[in-house]
Every structure is written in structure tokens, then in C-alpha cells.
Chains A and B, each alone.
Chain A
Amino acid sequence: MTTGHDTRLDSFNDTGLDPFNTKGGRPEDPDMTATDQRADEPVLDPAAREGAELPTERTVIFDVEELNVYYGDFRAVRDASLKVHKNEITAFIGPSGCGKTTLLRCFNRMNDLIETARVTGSLRYHGVDLYHPKVDSVEVRRQIGMVFQKPNPFPKSIWANVAYGPRVAGLAKKGPAMDDIVENSLRKAALWDEVKDRLDENALGLSGGQQQRLCIARAIATDPDVLLMDEPCSALDPIATTRIEELMHGLKDDYSIVIVTHNMQQAARVSDRTAFFSVEVNPESDTRTGILVEYDSTQKMFSNPADERTENYVTGRFG
């Protein structure tokens, strides 16, 4: 769906409208009006990206409204609202410390592991309030997988790493069924050919890029609905990064992906929608709160962003 719509780009921007309601926002959304007002500004770099058509009928996976995340008294993220769509790659970009990781870790309730973390506002997953008292965070994490910034394979065999999730979830036991799951997951993660002859070797013997693809294989082995990726390439070299990016394009057909990256080129290359976060310094308390500045189709965010701060960031004037 990211192919061959270059011609749409201009009309898309010139109309000053958002015909596909790419933000997925409600019409009364104040951010949206701001977008509309600024949409006739010159296109920054129309060649930055292939045109992308983002149909709105896509199912909304996550519906975030007015989400605040606190660590103790410190508010790390303020009033974030956005919608994540099915079979799309949604990128979170922004300077470090602006709460990208914090927000991402709300999506699978990973922040529950942090004593002081607290979430207010609404975060709906397929319409269900993820933070409803009846929701079990463990069940949530079976459906919403996560890949971490630093590759973190278990110090076990490659096979055992991939089999871990299905085994814990009771999907399969040791045997042909599990072997199939392991093989399929490794194939999807484009790692099978490299490791098929040494499945029982320790995963820590793999290169960094292979380890990260193993972590992706491990995450998809439980057959999740969504993959959350927190700067999955930040510890990798450019070649490994390219492989992971290619992989993500392939995974999009089966999964919805939310990826945090502070590499703007990466966001531009892989994502369908981009959310730009920034920090707001409170001069009184000298605390830095993360805010969602703008959320739109990636094509628009990088060619014709509505907010000046986004524009400064994506053009490298602010970092």
C-alpha cells in the first residue's frame, strides 16, 4: 500500500483538507484545525517519501485519549491523544526524554513493572479500556508483543528463545507443533536460513542484528496482534538496521506495528503515520514533560507538517 502514489502527494497537500482523515481524529479535534490552517504552506521535501494513501476504514487498534503518565509526582507524558491503525506502522519520533518509551510501554502495560508509574486518561485497545481493573496485564502482553531497544535474548538456545512465549502461553509443548511455530517465526523474522542448522546453540552467540531479529521472532511466536518496538535498531549497525527495516515492511501485512525511533530517516522510510513528541520545560519546577506535538501521515509529517516545531525537527533545525 505504500507503492506508486506519488501523484497524490501534491493534491493531498494543496487541498488543505485531509480527505482521508489520516489523523483519525474527531472533527472537533483542535489539533486537526491547526493542521488545516497550515496545510497550504510550501512542501518541504516532496521527494522525501513515496506518497501513501491511508484509508480510514482501517480498524483502530489503539485509541489513546488524554493520556498522562506519571513517575511518582513527575509527569512524563501529558495529554497524549492519538489513534493507531491496523496493519500500519506507526512511528513515534522526538528528542530523547520526551516520553516515547514511556508512552509505548503503556500499550502493553509494561509500565506496571515500574513501582512509581501511574497512568491516567483513556487507552482503548479494540475498544477495551486497557487499564480497566479487570484487565490482566499478562493477557494483554500475550496479544501485544514487544521488542526492546537493546537485543535481550535469553541465555538459552535459539530454539528455546522462540519457544518461550508459546510455551508459557500453553500454545504448544515440545514437539513437532512447537518446531513448526519456531520455524515459522524465524522465517517471518528472516532469520531461519542463518540459524536453521544451529537451533540448539546459545542465542548469545549470534551477532547483534541476528539477536534483534531473534527477539522479533520470539515476539511473533506468540502470534500477537500488535508489535511494539522501542528503538529496535539503535544498537545495530547500518546493515543490520536495513534488514530489520525490510523485515518490518513484510510484517505489516500480519501485524500492526508501533515503533519508537529517534532516527527520522527511519521513521520516514518505514512508517505510515508519525507522531512527533517534544518536551515542554516547566520553568517553575524545572521538570520536562513530554507532549505530543503532531500526529499525521508520515508523508505529510515529513513534507508539510502543520506545526512549526515538527518542521524544525524533521528538517534538522532542532534536535
Chain B
Amino acid sequence: MNEAGSAELSIEALSGSPRRVRRERIISRAMFCTAFVSVVVSALIIYALFAEAWIFMRDVDWSATWGQIGWFPRRGIYDMPTLLVASLWTTAIAMVVAAPLGMGAAIYLSEYARPSHRAFFKPILEILAGIPSVVLGFFALLWLAPNVVAHIGGEGGRGSMLAAGIGVGILTIPLVASISEDAMAAVPKSLREASAGLGARRAVTTLRVVLPAAVSGLVASLIVAVSRALGETMVVFMAGGAADAAIKTYSPYDGSLTMPAAMASLASGTDQVVGEGLTFQSLFFVGLVLFMLTLGLNLIGDRFVARVREQY
């Protein structure tokens, strides 16, 4: 290009093609806009949530939200503990199902399965992940209730928090499995070799090396699963054993409404949301509580992950 090595360079020679520089700038702005749109949308959602929930919190008679006989929003009775207990039960039952099965599947796939077995099991998990929750709701009500719940002390003929919880658990197994497996697969092979070289069996290597090194991902998988279970609507709505109102109960064998199921029942039906003056707003209030719970969960999860993580 420039034969004489001593010739001076002009600033133009280094400023690049103006068209490309301009195009680069346009692309970068367009990318910013897309990111901005999602921020704006999120902000609007949160705003709407807060706005309506605020009306509820301002106008409600707070004694109606605590210590009542249950959740009867169309009659002005908004007992939050009813929903919280139901959410807690279904989520806890779901995790009792999903954590061991999901992690077990992940351990099997990542540490034990031969490639051919892996190739067989992995798609099955993906199919499970693809099942619509409506289908699982039916399954929980029509199969789990009579065939499982009825054998562990419950009634088979109707929905219950137990049936719904097991259903939600099945729904979240693939979630736990896939995130956990990714976390374990990210543990370097060299650590497994080091362990094997010291005379550790596979189970010991998994327990003492792989799982501790993958703990951040494992915790993340559980948090995501809990969030998912807390927010799961359809399965609980269908198999939870309560329609649009629920009597407060602490027994998982009873039917009840979780927070999202209560919201769904408020927003469904021909009369939409009618009733007492604040019925519509109560929906947003429940949504806000759910949102805060999930947010808090994620924050705690992040803290925990940062503290116990084994760096590699």
C-alpha cells in the first residue's frame, strides 16, 4: 500500500470507512432500543401491579386480610394466610418431588450414563419439559389423586394441595434436571480424574467433588424451580381442589387456592371480576405479594450462591 516506510500517515488512513462506522453506530443504537423496550415493558407491568395493589392497600379494611375463615374475595374476605399456606404446601410438596428426582436424573446423566443411555434419556426429559401444564393438571386430578394421593392418606375423588403439589413437582423435574446437569457438566473433567486417581469410586467423586464444585448451579436450579412452582397456575387451579374461594386449612389433603390459582379464578368465569368493590384490586395485591416473594427468593439465592461457591 504505502511503499515508502517513512511517509507520514494521514488521519484519514486510520479513521476507517465512514459508511461502516455509521452502520456500526446504527446497529448499536438499534440494539440499545430493543433492550430499552424490554426494560420499559417490565417497568410498565410493575407500575400497573403497584398502582392497582396500592388502591387495594389504601382502601382495604386490613382486618379482612388476616385471621378470617378463608379466601372469599367476592364477599370481601381476603385472608392472605389461606393463600400463603396453600402456596407453601404445594411448593414444598413440589420440591420434595422435583429436587431428588431432578437432581438424581442430572447426576445419572452427567456422571453415570453411557453415551447411548444418555441419548435415550435426555430427549425424554425434554418431552417432559414440553408437556403443557393443562395436561399435567388433568393428570394430577384424574390419575395422581386416585392412584397416589388416595394411597398416602388422601381422598382420590377430588383435587387437593397434595395432588397439585405432586403435579407441579413433576412439571419442574426437567427444570431441576437440566440446570443441575449443566452445572455438573461444567465441572472440569480433570477434577473427576484427580479424584478417580486417588482411588475414589464414582459415587464418592460425585458427592465430594462434583456436587460441591457445582453447588452454585444446583442452588440456582432449586431457586428457579421454587419460583416456577410458586408461580405455577394451571396445575394448581385444576387439581388444587378449590374453585374460586377456599376455606383456610393447614392440611395438604384438603383443597385450597394458591396465590396464582386465586388470581386465575378471579380473572376467569363469565362474570370476570365482579363482586365487592376491591375484588379486582385484590388480584393485583396477590400478584404483588407473589412478585415480592419471588424477587426476595432470587436475591437470597444470589447471596447464597456467592458464599458457598467453590471456584474453579
Contact = CB atoms under 8 A, between A and B. Distances in A.
B201 A138 contact: yes
Given A110-B193, A168-B204, A152 B199 contact: no
Contacts of A222: 198-199
B191 interface: yes
B212 A156 contact: yes
Nearest to B311: A155
A169 B190 CA distance: 20
Interface string B228-265: 00000000000000000000000000000000000000
Given A152-B190, A204-B312, A168 B197 contact: no
A258 interface: no
B200 A145 contact: no
Contacts of B204: 168
Q: Is the interface of B mostly helix, strand, loop or mixed?
A: helix
A219 interface: yes
A305 interface: no
B75 interface: no
A163 to B, nearest CB: 11
Of the four ranges (under 10, 10 to 19, 20 to 34, 35 or more), the interface on chain A belongs to 20 to 34
Interface in A214-257: 215, 218-219, 222
Contacts of A155: 191, 212-213, 310-312
A211 to B, nearest CB: 11
Given A155-B312, A156-B310, A168 B200 contact: yes
A286 interface: no
A263 interface: no
B208 interface: yes
Of A150, A165, A202, A215, the most chain B CB neighbours within 10 A belong to: A165
B196 interface: yes
Contacts of A152: 188, 190-191, 193-194
A148 B200 contact: no
A188 interface: no
B200 A215 contact: no
Given A138-B201, A165-B199, A154 B311 contact: no
B115 interface: yes
Contacts of A146: 193, 197
Interface string B169-193: 0000000000000000000101111
A298 interface: no
A164 interface: yes
Given A152-B188, A155-B213, A168 B312 contact: no
Interface string B98-142: 000000000000000011000000000000000000000000000
Interface in A147-162: 148, 150, 152-156
Given A152-B190, A154-B191, A113 B196 contact: yes
Interface pairs A-B: 9 shortest CB-CB: A142-B199, A165-B198, A155-B310, A146-B197, A152-B190, A141-B199, A155-B312, A152-B194, A168-B200
Interface of A: 108, 110, 113, 115, 138-139, 141-142, 145-146, 148, 150, 152-156, 164-165, 168-169, 202, 204, 215, 218-219, 222
Given A153-B194, A155-B312, 10 more contacts: A108-B197, A110-B193, A113-B192, A142-B199, A155-B310, A156-B310, A165-B200, A218-B194, A219-B198, A222-B198
